[in-house]
Amino acid sequence: MEITETKSGAVTTVALKGRVDSATAGTLRERLSKLVESVPARLVIDFRDVAYISSAGFRTLLIIAKQSEDAKGGLALCGFSSEVRRLFEIAAFTELFLILPSREEAIAALGSMK
């Protein structure tokens, strides 16, 4: 899985490409943890090029969500394909995150946070 970071003002976007599964979730967790810890952290995770996500990936997202809450940061997800959305619904994860259709909308949502 490839992980690409870009910054737009105060918001960092992490774009993922490939599978988020047992093999890749550990690396993803390390990268996202560092970003969430840098305060103030406003993080967008872009799923546009994600093939699928397994429970290892969901576990990582939950850990990052908890970290982000503790650090009072902002976290938004975007770019879900219908397959990824379906997986999030099965895992009942749609209720845990701010999810926007596009990266632009996600960045705008976090950028306007107080």
Please pick, from the candidates 17, 33, 49, 51, the single residue that binds other proteins as defined by CB under 8 A.
51
Please pick, from the candidates 58, 73, 76, 106, the single residue that binds other proteins as defined by CB under 8 A.
58
Strands (E), the chain: 2-8, 11-20, 42-53, 74-78, 98-100
Task: Decide if residue 80 touches other proteins (CB under 8 A).
Answer: no
Measured from the CB atom, the residue of 9 and 82 that comes closer to other proteins is 82
The one-character DSSP state at 6 is E
> Count residues contacting other proteins (CB under 8 A)?
25
Contact 40, 8 (CB under 8 A): no
